[in-house]
Amino acid sequence: MPAYYKSFRAGALGSQLPILSTELDSVRVYQFECHFEGVPGVRNPTRLTLAAKQVSPIGVTVDDIEAHRVNERFWYPGKPSPEEVTITFDDLYSGASRTLYDWFTTVYDNKDGSVTTNKAQRLTVVQLDGNMNVKGSTTMYGVYPKAWKESEYNYSTANDFHTIEMTLRYDFADHQ
């Protein structure tokens, strides 16, 4: 029997119960953490872990190079283009909003219009299994905030949490 069909028998009756598969379960989209390292403008820039409500797809696209030869066309991989990632963070009383805004102002300061190239060393989105153990991760390197915005203030959404949405750019990504 292949390893991915490993199973267990539940209950005291053992062999009389159906066999349940435990190896074919999928990674849940709601079990993740965001770990930042080397964030400029943050009190402890070595490691920052924030609760996030949503992370947009992380990906990279490779442009095509088209080569013509007589009546034929050939395609070669060209420049890679990492895509923007948007993360929605819960605005916690612990100061997540202030921390994210402080980082954003190291790139663009709204008060004086200064622009710098302060990038975080890396951002890792960690995928967790049902027991909250690390199942996989995607790490982005050379990360900087491109946009920062608060959610709207609205009485009709009184039961919703206030959030901070950041659009981030990165240089490289690696999936483990």
pLDDT at 66 (0 to 100):
94
Look up the CATH number of domain 18-175. 2.30.110
SS (H, E, C) the chain: CCHHHCEEECCCCHHHCCEEECCCCCCCCCCEEEEEECCCCCCCCCCEEECEEEECCCCEEEEEEEEEECCEEEEEEEEEEECCEEEEEECCCCCHHHHHHHHHHHHECCCCCCECCCCEEEEEEEEECCCCCEEEEEEEEEEEEEEEEECCCCHHHCCCCCEEEEEEECCEEEEC
pLDDT at 3 (0 to 100):
45
Query: In this prediction, what percent of the chain has a pLDDT beyond 90?
Result: 30
Query: In this prediction, what percent of the chain has a pLDDT beyond 70?
Result: 78
pLDDT at 16 (0 to 100):
61
pLDDT tens digits, 106-161: 888 778 877 787 888 899 998 887 777 888 899 999 999 999 998 887 777 777 78
- 2 pLDDT above the threshold of 50: no
- 103 pLDDT above the threshold of 90: no
pLDDT at 73 (0 to 100):
94
Compare 63 and 28 and report the one with higher pLDDT: 63
Prediction pTM value: 0.73
Residue ranges of domains in the chain:
18-175
